[in-house]
Structure 1
Amino acid sequence: MATLSQLLELPDLGLKLLQSGPGDPELSWVSITELLGLAEYLEGGEIIMTTGLTLGADDPGWLDFVAGLSRARVAAIGFGVGVNHDTVPTPLLRAASTYRVALFEIPLPVPFIAVSKAVAGLLRSDELRAARSALQVQLRLLDSARGSQDPAEVLASIAQATGRQLALVSGKDRVLASTQGFQSDGAELVALNTEGTLHLAIAGSGPLTPEGSSVIAAGAMALGFSVRSDRASDRAERERWELLTGRILSGALPAATAEVLAPGVRLPRTLRAVAVQGSPEDISGWRGEPRLGLDRLIGSTEELAGGLARAWQIVDGSAPEAALTRIAQHGLDAVVGRAVAATALPMSVRSAAGRLGDLPGRSSLYVEPRRAQTIWADRDAPFLEAVLGLGASPEHGAIALSREVLGPLAATGPNRKASTEPDRELLCETLGALFASDGQRGPAAAALGIHRNTLRDRIARIERLTGRSLASAADRAELWFALRADELA
């Protein structure tokens, strides 16, 4: 920015400051006048040069002249001596002091045009500096489109260069990333894709400089390139994320592998597995939204009986609310697994899987008004959590008792060795189906896709291996608690 002090420091002009104003005012332009009522034609920041042709040395009109310029917020008054007045009039000095308007003397033989050219040169240099700075920001932003810079970092770079608050918005009002303090009220939207589903929202007041406009244009281009290359709707890209998510959820790959597909994005300290369920159409709409970073950790869609579909997503364990809001906005139900360390995601999957039977069926999708249901595996059963002592050591009493009850059907024995029963998982699934069907064998056999005689044989094996009878209410209660403890612990 060009300032008054820079002008006064130019040695060739010999300007002399007689009265300082508040601070070091920025210069916007320069004007020569002998008029008294010039204030209404000014915008602020101008230097007004005069020789005092219309006012005498002791004329009280100097006070009104300076008062008007003060209201117009001029940068300074330049008075040329040796033309109409040999010295700067005393009333002008007093008025400048009263209204705190900067006043400097222009000596002979310095012409006013020399001062005008000097101001123009300072403004031109300032514009060149701003242009160079804006160009550097634009280059960084465009480079980020080819690299791995996170959209939030791109928004921060634009905000720093323009003083605006910005956000990356999907659909009407879903904020994917934003700068601190962003408010959507009155924000201007710039489309980033041809479908009009993704926008750069710009909020802030005051005029935007040409350099600021160019920075925003470059930032919009960078975000557009980045989002188009990152969109999970791209089939090949989505398939890679689906495959990766499935392997992470099963424990075949560590969760940190996700950072390979999203360089620059770091895993949160804890993660949760979320089972998302609803109609295939709603699942498809939810999956097709533009996604960034780890928000793309969604597994493949599984078709369920009764016209339902299900998919799994990995979310931030300590802040899953944004992901759950997006799920609910599509009318989808969800079961949220326990928050676990990145290395223990299969435990979160098991905790969520144990509550899938509590989700409503297909008929609930047609109930108006439709309210999506969210079940928290670690919040909706506090009594069970407390009784089982989840999170305790493997030698905790409840866990040890569950092993004793299940016997060969437990995942691990007292010495932490894996079960040697070859059909352990099959028999545990059968036991879970019986509990889910309230002990009714017909519905349990149908859910498992087996004949009732096959179910009867499996029940006989379960009772033989555990030493418990499913005809006994007490034994059934012990088996249910033991099975839940084994699944979650």
Structure 2
Amino acid sequence: MVALSQLLALPDLGLRLLQSGPGDPELSWVSTTELLDLSEYLEGGEIILTTGLTLEADDPRWRDFVAVLSRARVAGIGFGIGVNHDRVPAPLVSAASVYRVALFEVPLPVPFIAVSKAIAELMRADELRAARGALRAQQRLLDRSRGDQDPAEVLANIAQVTGRQLGLLGSDNTVLASTGGFASVRDSVGTEYISLDAEGSLRLAVVGDTPLSPEGRSVIAAGSMVLGMGLRGDRLEETRERERWERFTAGLLSGREQPHSLAILNPSLQLPALVRAIAVQGTAEDISAWRHRPRSGLDRLIAASQSPPRAAGLALAWQLCADTDAAVEGALKVAANHQLDAVVGRSAPVTNTALSYRSASTRLRSLSVTAPLYTAPRTPVVIWADRDTPLLDALLSMGDPQGTEEGSRRRALGAHVLGPLSLASSELAEHERHMLRETMSAVFQADGQRGPAATALGIHRNTLRDRLTRIERLTERSLADADDRSELWFALRLEEIADEG
């Protein structure tokens, strides 16, 4: 930045300040003119050089001349004496005082071209200093990238050169590191976000409402590279850390893990009081990319599914997030970016995460097993368990789903309807009971149509007919009767959910 005071301080020019303006304005350019109004050609910060050729010493239009330049926010007016006027006209001095525009005298021996060259030289020197300072800052950042440079130190180095407040944001928008004043201006207008990785899960927030200089941008670019390299870190350690979080999340979803165990992974993090389990389904490649994207904070609460895929080429995974609009919408947006369908479980206390998990599991059958594999382009599907809750889920949400007595009641009710097909029965061999239960489920999922059900099971229609006849005999219920079908389906789901719990 070149200030007016630097120009006035050059001894070879002999410039004399007659009227000061507000502060010490920054110079952007210099212009020589004898026009009375050149506001259309000004952008602010210019030095205007004139000899007053078109105005007499006592002309009242000096006031209009200065008023126009004041509105254009010029840095100052340089008046050359000894050409058209022996001294600076008094009305010009008076107008400069009224409008608070800097006015200085250019003596006769000094041509305007000398003033222009002096300003150009000052600007070149300033640009060179800025470039050297930016280069030194970049070198410091890049040299230290070989060691363990703390992200806060990188941000401090960038802020020192650019004068900006900066923050490093994780995948769940938590602040991983920042400069001192970032928190108070984080949501200000003019915040620029720079992605530090391909997924956009690590971002650098730069706060400021004035344009950055080329040198400032080069320093931010160097700092962004250093932050990106440092935060990605060693791949092996990242893999181990992700596996630890996935084991913890799987334990929460199943009910085997207690929330307070999070302190082992990160003592500074706290789980929210209410959570939602989100199932994501898509191709194996898309699920893998989703699982391995850089994550931070509670965004790391993901887990691979322990159940076999519903179709060849498909995969399933889980995420646990806070029951807030922002958290759920953020998780669904990331899933959609990876072309994944999603089922959002019911809101549940974090101490009973399995309840949300089971509600989402129930609705997985509503997701297509072919669309992710064969439909392109496509809009990923989102299903909310609590916005279209099946009657069974609504009933099971009553009472204490985790209670031993409640689970025993469900198993007893299921066994009463299913008889020998119940998981609690020992009348049939396990493989035979599994085959008949699988057959009954396939018929229910095919809306009672035996052709599609036989195809799904990979058996002949006659084989399916024989199995259904046996099911009806063992359960003493007819699949042609709507009430009997409802009871059988209800009993199957009761035992499945009781077994999951």
Aligned counterparts, 1:213-292, within 5 A: 213-226=217-230, 228-229=232-233, 234=235, 237-238=238-239, 240-251=241-252, 270-287=274-291, 289=293, 291=295
Instruction: Name the structure 1 match of 2:360.
Output: 352
Q: CA deviation at 1:45?
A: 1.4
Matched, 1:320 2:332: no
Aligned-pair distance for 1:307?
0.7
Give 1:22-41 correspondences, 5 Å limit.
Answer: 23-24=22-23, 26-28=25-27, 36-37=34-35
Counterpart selection for 1:406 from 402, 411, 428: 411
Q: Which residue of 1 aligns with 2:46?
A: 46
Gaps of 5+ in 1: 411-420
Displacement of 1:387 in angstroms is: 3.5
8 Å CA contact 2:31, 2:49 repeated in 1: yes
- Return closer, same or farther for 1:431/1:381 CA change in 2, 3 Å cut-off: farther
Q: Secondary structure at the match of 1:299?
A: strand
* Residues 56-135 of structure 1: pairs in structure 2 closer than 5 A: 57-59=57-59, 62=62, 66=66, 69-70=69-70, 73-78=73-78, 88-96=88-96, 100=99, 102-104=101-103
Letter in 2 for 1:355: R
User: For the structure 1 residues 478 and 108, does the alpha-carbon distance in structure 2 shift closer, same or farther, using more than 3 Å as the test?
Assistant: closer
| Distance change (3 Å), C-alpha of 1:130 and 1:342 | farther
CA shift at 1:162, angstroms? 7.1
What is the Cα deviation at residue 320 of structure 1?
A: 1.9
Structure 1 93/343 Cα, relative in aligned 2: closer, same or farther at 3 Å?
same
- What does residue 382 of structure 2 align with? 374
Distance (whole Å) between structure 1 residues aligned to residue 144 and residue 264 of structure 2? 20
* Distance apart, 1:242 and its partner CA: 3.7
Give the 3-state SS of the residue equivalent to 1:274 in structure 2.
Answer: strand
Of 329, 332, 347, 1:339 maps to: 347
CA contact (8 A) 2:247 2:303 kept: yes
The alpha-carbon deviation at position 28 of structure 1 amounts to 1.0
Show CA shifts across 1:378-403 (max 9, x none).
3321654544444x55799xx96664
8 Å Cα contact 1:271-1:316 kept in structure 2: yes
Does the CA-based 8 Å contact 1:272-1:339 persist in structure 2? yes
SS of the counterpart of 2:334?
helix
Cα distance in 1 between the residues matched to 2:195 and 2:249: 37
1:436 aligns with 2:441: yes
User: 1:288/1:51 Cα in 2 relative to 1: closer, same or farther (>3 Å)?
Assistant: same
For 2:90, give the aligned amino acid: T
- 299-308 or 243-252, which deviates more: 299-308
2:66 touches 2:101 (CA, 8 Å); kept in 1?
Answer: no
Structure-2 separation of matches of 1:264 and 1:57: 75
CA distance in 1, matches of 2:275, 2:139: 36
Contact 1:169 1:200 in 2 (8 A): no
Structure 1 counterpart of 2:316: 311
In structure 1, what residue type is equivalent to 2:340?
Answer: L
- How much has 1:57 moved relative to structure 2? 3.0
Are the counterparts in 2 of residues 165 and 180 from structure 1 also a CA contact under 8 Å? no
Please state how far the C-alpha of 1:245 moved relative to its aligned partner. 0.8
Give the SS at the match of 1:249. helix
- Deviation string for 1:64-114 (max 9, x for gaps)? 75466446532223558899978642221354367x2514466999x9999
217 and 266 in structure 1: CA distance in 2 versus 1, 3 angstrom threshold = farther
**TM-score, with structure 1 as normaliser:** 0.59
8 Å contact kept, 1:47–1:75: yes
Against the structure 1 CA distance between its residues 235 and 430, is the aligned structure 2 distance closer, same or farther, given a 3 Å change threshold?
farther
List runs of 5+ in structure 2 lacking aligned partners. 176-185, 416-423, 459-463
Separation in 1, partners of 2:273, 2:134: 38
CA–CA separation in structure 1 for the residues paired with 2:311 and 2:413: 34
Report % sequence identity.
35
Aligned-pair CA distance for 1:121: 8.4
Structure-2 separation of matches of 1:368 and 1:383 = 34
Q: With the length of structure 2 as denominator, give the TM-score of the two structures.
A: 0.58
Residue pair 2:16, 2:105 contacting (<8 A) in 1 also = yes
Contact 1:162 1:208 in 2 (8 A): no
**In 2, are the aligned partners of 1:81 and 1:106 still within 8 Å (CA)?**
yes
Question: Structure 1 pair 235/434, CA: closer, same or farther in 2 (3 Å)?
Answer: farther
Residue equivalent to 1:414? none
Q: For the aligned residues, what is the CA RMSD?
A: 6.7
Whole-angstrom distance in 1 between the partners of 2:135 and 2:496:
61
